[in-house]
Amino acid sequence: MSLSRPIAARPQPARIARWLLLVAFMVFAMVVVGGITRLTESGLSMVRWEPISGIVPPLNAAQWHAEFDAYKATPEYLKINRGMSLDEFKGIFFWEYLHRVIGRLIGIVFALPLAWFAWKRMIPRGYGPRLILLLALGGLQGAIGWWMVASGLIDRPDVSHIRLAVHLLTALLILAALVWTALDLFDLQRNPDARPARLTGIAALAFLVLFVQLMLGAFTAGLDAGYAFAEWPTMGGRLFPEGVAFLKPLWVNLVDNPIVVQFVHRWFAWVAAAILLSLAWAAHKAGVKGPVHAIATFLILQIGLGIATLLTGVDIHVAVAHQAVGALLVASTAWTAQRLGKARRA
């Protein structure tokens, strides 16, 4: 039997695009489960990073007790959860385990078809490097996830909010890139001479302000800043609360001061909304329809859910919905930006 490489097949842009959208859906699911993991404080329940063997959960009482004993040595257990029962531990272990399993499945669902498409020479010219970069970003994301978890296993009972933000933003960057690349490939299927859509100035600005807002949201979650004031639009009955102890130097408050972070996250949302609506308007003038409606809808939902998250004292269902819609807003921004870039290139 010959193992020689097959003769080059005809490129399959639409087939590859559908595969990328499947991976994008899985990334979206992982972002949602990641939000649940964070809100249930489950992220530090698995104290080892075992990319291969870690896919097998504890299967008997002895293995469960071994996992629980390892967790008992962590700062989170010693300072917060001391006295937790084994059944309670299993509850938090489930979400972190599910989060990691989805990550591994994404890697498999991306890497194996990519290798097959490459072997069959089905990848259109110019798209191979982009797909390899996406694969590399996925691998990096796994390492970032462990880097984040490791920050809560030494001398603090929670993960670094900065590393949490890096982890979330990398996932959303991958999501946006998957959507954009899939749309470029659908265009190529319709027109073999189509070139990839270009990133316009308004789209670049929209991505920038949206990711800053999402970073502030991750800081808010990581610092538990959302619990500080269950009211809106005021904080403690004022636009900005009294008696706030500021950190030095002053800029550090934008990163490490929970009150300042929540305040900025509240009001920078309107800057992000204005820029995103400007992107939608530019796309509308260029004749783009569906993506414009999507970005407007998710923007309204996201603002409403953000306010509701505060007013409900960070109810887990509302907060998870807030993170989920944030991911959908990223995807719809990528959709709108790609269609605008395509319209302006035409």
Distance CA(260)–CA(159), nearest Å, equals: 20
Under DSSP, is residue 85 helix (H, G, I), strand (E, B) or coil?
coil
324: helix, coil or strand?
helix
Report, as an integer, the average pLDDT of 295-324: 96
Is the pLDDT confidence value at 30 over 70?
Answer: yes
> Which pLDDT score is estimated for 346?
62
DSSP-derived 3-state class of residue 52: coil
pLDDT(12) > 90: no
In this predicted model, what pLDDT tens digit does every residue of 59-109 receive, in sequence order? Answer: 999 999 999 999 999 999 999 999 999 999 999 999 999 999 999 999 999
Binding residues: 265, 322
- Cα–Cα distance between 315 and 311 in angstroms, integer? 9
Sign of CA dihedral 312, 168, 338, 344: positive
Q: What is the pLDDT of residues 181-212, one digit of tens each?
A: 999 999 999 999 889 999 999 999 999 999 99
Residue 9: its pLDDT value, please? 58
**Taking the chain, what is the end-to-end CA distance rounded to the nearest angstrom?**
48
Residues in the chain: 346
Lookup: tokens for 177: 């890139």
Return the pLDDT at 1. Answer: 38
φ, ψ for residue 272 (rounded to 5)?
A: -60, -40
Calculate mean pLDDT across residues 164-182.
98
The answer to whether 117 touches 16, Cβ cutoff 8 Å, is yes
Please, which residues bridge with residue 235 across strands? 238
DSSP character string of 201-223 = HHHHHHHHHHHHHHHHHHHHHHT
pLDDT in tens, 254-285: 999 999 999 999 999 999 999 999 999 999 99
> CA triplet 111, 113, 119: central angle to 5 degrees?
100
pLDDT bin (cut points 50, 70, 90) of residue 52 is: confident
CA distance 45 to 95: 9
CA distance 211 to 303: 15
Q: Of all residues in the chain, what percent are helix, strand and coil, respectively (each to 5)?
A: 70, 0, 30
Q: Which two tokens stand for residue 153?
A: 């296993």
pTM over 0.75: yes
Binding residues for heme: 265, 322
> Does 8 score more than 80 pLDDT?
no
- What does the block give as tokens for 205? 């600005």
**Predicted confidence (pLDDT) at residue 11 exceeds the cutoff of 80:** no
Whether residue 5 is predicted with pLDDT greater than 60 in this model: the reply is no
- Give yes or no for residue 250 having a pLDDT over 60: yes
pLDDT at 4: 45
**Percent of the chain having pLDDT more than 90?**
87
Stretch (H or E) spanning 2: none
Alpha-helical runs (H) found in the chain: 13-39, 61-72, 75-76, 86-119, 128-150, 161-190, 201-222, 253-256, 258-285, 290-311, 316-345
Q: On the CB side of 295, how many CA atoms lie within 13 Å of its CA?
A: 33
Residue 86 contacts residue 95 (beta carbons within 8 Å): no
pLDDT digits (tens, 9 = 90+) for 284-306: 999 998 999 999 999 999 999 99
pLDDT of residue 328 exceeding 70, the answer is yes
Under the banding of pLDDT at 50, 70 and 90, the label for residue 2 is: very low
* Mean pLDDT on 24-50: 94
**Is 218's pLDDT higher than 70?**
yes
Domain extents in the chain: 10-195, 197-345
Phi, psi of 195 (to 5 degrees): -105, 155
Name the β-bridge partners of 199: none
From residue 128, alpha-carbon distances to 132, 170, 176, 178 in Å are 6, 21, 18, 13
CA–CA distance, 250 with 254 (Å, rounded to integer)? 8
Residue 3 has a pLDDT of: 43
Q: Which is higher by pLDDT, 51 or 246?
A: 246
Token readout for 102 is: 């989805």
Q: Choose between 54 and 76: higher pLDDT.
A: 76
Q: 48: helix, coil or strand? A: coil
